[in-house]
Amino acid sequence: MVMSVGRTPVGADPSRASPERGAHARRSRRGLLLGLFGPAAVAVALTPVVLASRGPRAAEPAADLVFDETYRGRRIRGIRASVAAAAGALGAGQWHVTVDGRPLHLMRRADGTWLSMVDHYRSYATALDAVRAAVDELGPGRQLRETRNGGADMGGHSGVHA
Amino acid sequence: MAYTRKDVSTLTAAEKRRFVRAMLELKRRGEYDEFVRMHIDFYVSDGEDGLRTAHMSPSFLPWHRRFLLELEQALRRVDSSVSVPYWDWTRDRTTSAAPWTDDLLGGTGRAPDRRVTTGPFAHATGNWTLKERITDEDYLTRDLGRPADPIELPTRSDLEWALQDPVYDTSPWDSTSTAGFRNKLEGWGSGKGAAAWRNHNRVHRWVGGVMVSGASVNDPVFWMHHAFVDLCWSRWQQRHRDHRYLPARPPGPGSAQRGRIVARHEKLPPWDVTPDELEDHGSIYRYA
């Protein structure tokens, strides 16, 4: 579920994801980032991820910063913006997650656990657990919205209607 | 003259018909979707910055009390005889009980897409198309009791555990508060599996579909569920008459919760009203 910077060749074939439940695809962090956010975001985001995986100043292990797997037939991918450096591009500490390429908004609880817009009344120990639970809840028959489906515009004070 | 909110299992055929008709009229006018949107907008999690009013905070109860009043006032502009019934999930506990009948909310969703196909809110009626939503589907979804991995509604003793706590809420005033009536009723647990959901949260999970999502207001049962949660607050007040909404004053300058929760006499966004002013609803409505 987690990419290792040192062992994964840059430019690995992104189509080699296993269709098996829980299996994960081995592909490059750069490729993953490109797929998620496009080249502009990668230039900003890649550096802090790599730094976080090396130095003693890393806020958390690199293992917790990226995932990319096929779960119950759905491609789930995520990256967590580094608190230190990627704030401008991605939002400090936020997970940016897609299910079959469509964004899924995650929220963090005070105890460090995560909940998604699909499964919104409990939380899970890791972001990956929360995304898998969202896939469980979607079942085989439902899809996230392509746009405005719980992305950055969901969950904030974007408007008052009263 | 205060009006009455009734137990949904006691509604007459005419009362059910008028409630449904008023709901469909708000939907037709586009007013209903504003409520769905508002609930999404005010769901701020406690692991993130910002003022929390609707969830994971002391004002969970007054925020939803005022939210229900807004909906109820809109319903009563359509039909002044209508009020929001409450669903006592400690009593009506099966998928065939109230409020899941064809003359009120309809039943559970079908496999595999969880689409609700019975009752007046079924998509095929053309009257209940979801607009503010998380998933692609524009139909109402439910998964009552989650048959693939069954879960029970909260029991009377689960609710009693919350009602017995004489303290309204406790520091840190969020989803990790282990004592206090508010979070015991809101239902944020830390455990895995069944212990992860309690009381209010667990009911959202039991209904499933849109009710367990960020767009839960799309299911009309949202209001009946929260009317019962609101009734539980009133029962707690009656049982603990010396206790009130907490915190009474805003957290001090050194507190991590400063500016993130609403104290008793502070305004509760988006309204020009305080928790203190929402504690007594007796002049507006009563529960039967």
| Strands lying side by side in the sheet with A102-104 | A23-24, A66-71, A74-80, A95-99, A102-104
Q: B232 Cβ partners below 8 Å, 6+ apart?
A: B159, B162, B163, B185
CB nearest to B40's CB, from A140, A141, A155:
A155
Triad B214, B218, B220: Cα angle to 5°: 125
Enclosing H/E stretch for A88: helix A87-90
CA distances from B53 to A51, A148, B44, B130, B159 (A): 37, 23, 8, 25, 23
């005419």: which residue's tokens?
A: B14
Residue among B111, B133, B117 at smallest CA distance from B218: B133
Under DSSP, the state recorded for A159 is -
How far is Cα A102 from Cα A116, in angstroms, rounded to an integer?
13
Domain boundaries, chain A: 23-138
CB B62 within 8 A of CB B281: no
CB nearest to B70's CB, from A109, A113, A162:
A162
Contact A122 B201 (CB under 8 A): yes
- Inform me whether the pLDDT recorded for A10 exceeds 70: no
Which of chain A's residues have a Cβ under 8 Å away from the Cβ of B146?
Answer: none
Would you identify the CATH topology of the domain A23-138?
protein ne1242 fold (3.30.1880)
Enclosing H/E stretch for B232: helix B221-239
**For residue A96, which phi and psi values (nearest 5 degrees)?**
-120, 115
Higher pLDDT, B166 or A151: B166
For β-strands B3-5 and A102-104, DSSP reports them as unpaired
């015991």: which residue's tokens?
A: B184
B13: distance to nearest CA of chain A, Å?
Answer: 32
Alpha helices (H) in B30-86, listed in sequence order: 31-41, 60-78
Lowest mean pLDDT among A48-57, A105-114, B140-149: A48-57
B209: distance to nearest CA of chain A, Å?
Answer: 8
Mean pLDDT value across residues B166-182 = 97
Contact A160 B41 (CB under 8 A): yes
How far is Cα A13 from Cα A31, in angstroms, rounded to an integer?
9
- Inform me whether the pLDDT recorded for A159 exceeds 50: no
First to last CA, chain A: 43
CB A93 within 8 A of CB A83: yes
- Inform me whether the pLDDT recorded for A30 exceeds 70: no
Higher pLDDT, B239 or A46: B239
Contact A142 B201 (CB under 8 A): no
Which of chain A's residues have a Cβ under 8 Å away from the Cβ of B213?
Answer: 117-120, 137
CB nearest to A121's CB, from B47, B50, B201:
B201
A131: distance to nearest CA of chain B, Å?
Answer: 13
Interface check A147 vs B, CB under 8 A:
no
Query: How much of chain A is in helix, strand and coil states, percent to nearest 5?
Result: 25, 20, 55
Contact B270 A140 (CB under 8 A): no
Which chain B residue is nearest to residue A94, measuring alpha carbons? B48
How far is Cα B191 from Cα B39, in angstroms, rounded to an integer?
26
Alpha helices (H) in chain A, listed in sequence order: 29-37, 39-54, 87-90, 127-138
Kindly report, residue by residue over B126-159, the tens digit of the pLDDT. 999 999 999 999 999 999 999 999 999 999 999 9
Residue among A136, A73, A125 at smallest CA distance from B149: A136
Tell me what percent of the residues of chain B surpass a pLDDT of 90.
Answer: 95
CA distances from A122 to B52, B101, B179, B201, B214 (A): 17, 28, 18, 7, 11
Interface check A98 vs B, CB under 8 A:
no
* E strand segments, A48-133: 66-71, 74-80, 95-99, 102-104, 106-108, 114-116
Contact B41 A156 (CB under 8 A): yes
Q: Which residues pair with A98 in a beta bridge?
A: A77, A103
Half-sphere exposure of residue B32, counting CA atoms within 13 Å on the CB side? 26
Domains of chain B, with CATH numbers? 3-287 (1.10.1280.10)
Interface check A161 vs B, CB under 8 A:
yes
Lowest mean pLDDT among A41-45, A75-79, B66-70: A41-45
Tell whether the torsion through CA atoms of A48, A52, A56 and A59 is positive or negative. Answer: positive
Residue among A38, B269, B2, A75 at smallest CA distance from B260: B269
Q: Which residues pair with B287 in a beta bridge?
A: B5
Lowest mean pLDDT among A43-57, B109-123, B144-158: A43-57
Grouping H, G, I as helix, E, B as strand and the rest as coil, residue B113 is: coil
- Inform me whether the pLDDT recorded for A33 exceeds 60: no
| ipTM of the complex in this document | 0.94
CB A107 within 8 A of CB A93: no
Which of chain B's residues have a Cβ under 8 Å away from the Cβ of A99?
Answer: none
Which of chain A's residues have a Cβ under 8 Å away from the Cβ of B261?
Answer: none
Residue B119, both tokens = 């009752």
Half-sphere exposure of residue B141, counting CA atoms within 13 Å on the CB side? 28
Residue A160, both tokens = 């008052």
- Inform me whether the pLDDT recorded for A31 exceeds 60: no
Q: How confident is the model at residue A34 (pLDDT cuts 50, 70, 90)?
A: very low
What pLDDT does A1 receive? 28
CB B252 within 8 A of CB B246: no
Residue B32, both tokens = 């209903």
Q: B128 Cβ partners below 8 Å, 6+ apart?
A: B24, B27, B120, B121, B122, B139, B140
Higher pLDDT, B10 or A93: B10
Q: What is the mean pLDDT of chain B?
A: 97
For β-strands A66-71 and A114-116, DSSP reports them as unpaired
CB A100 within 8 A of CB A119: no
